[in-house]
Amino acid sequence: MDQAAHTSAAELRFSDARSARKWADMYDSDTDSLQEASFRARCDAAVQYVLRVLPAGGRVLDLGCGSAPVLSRLRQHGASCTGLEYSEDMLRHARARLQSMQLDVGDLHRGDCRETPFEAASFDVVVCLGVISYVEDYAVVLSEIKRILKPGGYALVSFRNRFNPILWDPAVGLKTLARAATGRLPPEPYKIGRFMDFREFRRKMDDAGFEYRHFVGIGLGPIRFNRRALLAERVSIWLSDSLTAVLRRLGWQAPMRWLADVSLWVYGKPAA
């Protein structure tokens, strides 16, 4: 499948015919789903970090803004935030969210994350949550983020961690280890919305000329055996929150890079 076909498939996935409504609704209330709880926590972490580093009068781009859960909260805090999204249906949900919150519905654009319509060095912060998993050659997206960032600006990039379903499922983990030991573990083929190897991502960020700033791991578990969940979703959410609090209190970031479901990485564009 070529990139144009991948793009069309990704757009369909986030259409009203598929999952656009689900993605819009999950940020409006708590749900009994560890995955959705992790996505809401990802939104919280991104908003908090942006507000911490955004200079007075600074500009933010939410690249792949979806239904605007991040963008809307940044605007609530008075931040100047532009949104870019490929799915027209998701943009419709974004406008509806902003209207319901009595926020400005302007400065939302339909476009491709690989080639944005913005001038170089336009933004102080670029937020890119869950986007690069839908682009095969995502190094192109990273290069575009660097182009539109101001020197000294920040890039917040997230994706789901490939090692989470392996390390939280003993059966899958043992099978993966056995295949790796015998040399029968082929590279994972690209598929839309894939879980990603953070080590590869970090190499690509280094190659693009970014500098590491911060990491947040979000969502531990769920505990499974042979791909079957062993705990109720609410119990999994409680366990995830409890373990995360302990690891953060201890300052143990390294285990979170391997264990967490969602990886949120912050990198900086070197100052001129």
Edge-to-edge strand ranges of the sheet holding 59-63: 108-110, 80-85, 59-63, 123-129, 149-160, 260-268, 211-220
User: Looking at residue 8, what is its pLDDT?
Assistant: 58
Is the residue at 239 inside a domain? Answer: no
Is the residue at 47 inside a domain? Answer: yes
Q: How far is CA 182 from the centre of its chain?
A: 33
User: Looking at residue 1, what is its pLDDT?
Assistant: 43
**pLDDT tens string 176-207:** 988 888 877 677 778 888 999 999 999 999 99
CA distance 57 to 78: 10
Beta strands at 80-85 and 108-110: parallel, antiparallel or unpaired? parallel
Total structural domains within the chain: 1
Is the residue at 92 inside a domain? Answer: yes
Residue ranges of the chain whose pLDDT lies below 70: 1-20, 185
Q: Which CATH number goes with the domain that contains 116?
A: 3.40.50.150
> Taking the alpha carbons of 234, 240, 243, 248 in that order, is the dihedral positive or negative?
negative
**What value, to the nearest 5°, has the Cα angle with vertex 233 and ends 232 and 235?**
70
CA distances from 17 to 31, 90, 191, 214, 220 (A): 22, 11, 20, 37, 31
User: Looking at residue 187, what is its pLDDT?
Assistant: 73
Is the residue at 176 inside a domain? Answer: no
User: Looking at residue 2, what is its pLDDT?
Assistant: 47
* Residue 22 lies in domain: 3-162+191-221+262-268
Is the residue at 126 inside a domain? Answer: yes
Q: Rounded to two decimals, what is the model's pTM? A: 0.93
Is the residue at 19 inside a domain? Answer: yes
Is the residue at 256 inside a domain? Answer: no
User: Looking at residue 24, what is its pLDDT?
Assistant: 77
Adjacent-strand bridge partners of 60: 81, 125
Is the residue at 158 inside a domain? Answer: yes
User: Looking at residue 10, what is its pLDDT?
Assistant: 63
Q: How many CB atoms lie within 10 A of CB 270?
A: 11
